[in-house]
Amino acid sequence: MTPSNPKAIRIAPKKQGNTLSTAQKRFNTLIRQIDKKKQLLLAWKEAIPVYHQKVEHEYDPLFDVFNGLRLEWIQLLDKHYEQPLFKKTDKMKIKHLISAVCDDLVADMDSEAVKTLFNKYNDVDYETMVQEQEQAVTELMKNMAKNMFDVDIGDDADVSSPEKFQAYLEDKMREQPAAQATAKPAKKTKKQLEREARQQEEEALAGKSVQEIYRKLVANLHPDREPDEQERLRKTELMQRVNTAYGKKDLLQLLELQLEVEQIDATQLSHLADNRLKHFNKILGGQLEELAQEVSQIEMAFKAELAMPFFEQISPNYLLSKIAEDTHAIEQDIVFITQDIKDHANAAAFKAWLKTYKIPKRAARDDFDDLFDGLSQFGFR
């Protein structure tokens, strides 16, 4: 991660003992918050490819091995089930063990062998279960679209995948503004009109402030006006940064560039008038909001992937530690199930083990879990 700019943008009191104005304090606060969000966003952007690489090259191969071993184990149990050595109580336990593993495997492996065992040891066949889950998910999607976005999803709508659901929802939401535009708008009050006029004026002045800084930087850094080859290369690189910052309306980056090329210094910032600072603060406030939204979108996506509640905190360090923890856990699972296959290969030894095994009682919550298992394809787990 790149370090913060040593020439940090900050307004200091003009004289020792003087206090800053409200606008100056707000400016300093926004600068600190933006810098913090930028550092966090950078940390996320550095962590995400590392995370995906570890998932693809470390965790997923181990998970495939584990699934193969789970299938081998339930196939072994299926052979035991057919032997006369195992009586009614034994077979109830074997059926439960196979069914419990199949419930997971049928979602993790596209295997006819798993589906065959699923159908053999479950009260409902695989195809029927999939249809029931799809119906339940569709109804839930309809209710969410209605309650959250006021969009009615028709019975003929195809929402069988996240992409189709999102596309349908976006189409419907685009139709709403068009329909609303045809309706006669309510007459605005004098206060509303005055407020809108003030907002437009402030936005125009804020935009001019950014343009002014941009023009000053261009005038100072334009490489075509530089005869020295080495200096022209330096200014070309600086101009690329200026254009990128201006394209993003990144006022903080533009101010930092001014500080870097010594167009301004901390003293000049301290002498900025409050009305000018208010324009700066408006831009900085919008920039902070955009950064916060970008970070939030990244965090919410990973919370959904990791089945975390939306209110829990997540960080790049947590993400990388979680994949390391999960990889270690799957390695341990492989060791344990490999030993189970070895220990349970002998029918008599397995029968003796079954005597110690008790079928766990089904919690009432499991009924809800069955429904939400069907939501995993939509990213809600």
Indicate if 210 and 261 belong to the same structural domain: yes
pLDDT tens-digit map of 336-353: 999 999 999 999 999 999
4-13, 37-46, 144-153 — most confident range: 37-46
Indicate if 231 and 138 belong to the same structural domain: no
Indicate if 161 and 264 belong to the same structural domain: no
pLDDT over threshold 50, residue 381 = no
Indicate if 75 and 8 belong to the same structural domain: yes
Residues spanned by the domain of 151: 133-178
Does residue 278 fall inside a structural domain?
A: no
Give the Cα-Cα-Cα angle 311, 314, 319 (nearest 5 degrees).
145
Indicate if 106 and 197 belong to the same structural domain: no
The total number of structural domains that make up the chain: 3
pLDDT tens-digit map of 15-25: 666 788 888 89
Split at pLDDT 50, 70, 90, the class of 373 is: very low
Helix (H, G, I), strand (E, B), or coil: what is residue 307?
Answer: coil
What's the token pair of residue 183? 């309706």
Indicate if 40 and 78 belong to the same structural domain: yes
What does pLDDT average to over the chain?
81
Average pLDDT over residues 286-302: 90
The answer to which of 90-94, 132-136, 217-221, 290-294 has the lowest mean pLDDT is 132-136
Indicate if 25 and 49 belong to the same structural domain: yes
pLDDT at res. 9: 79
* Cα separation, 296 vs 44, whole angstroms: 11
pTM: 0.69
pLDDT over threshold 70, residue 377 = no
Split at pLDDT 50, 70, 90, the class of 6 is: very low
pLDDT over threshold 90, residue 94 = yes
Split at pLDDT 50, 70, 90, the class of 258 is: confident
Split at pLDDT 50, 70, 90, the class of 65 is: very high
* Cα separation, 258 vs 242, whole angstroms: 10
Indicate if 31 and 119 belong to the same structural domain: yes
Indicate if 3 and 101 belong to the same structural domain: yes
Query: Which spans in the chain are helix H?
Result: 22-54, 60-81, 88-108, 112-121, 126-149, 162-182, 190-221, 229-247, 251-260, 266-270, 274-305, 316-344, 347-356, 366-373
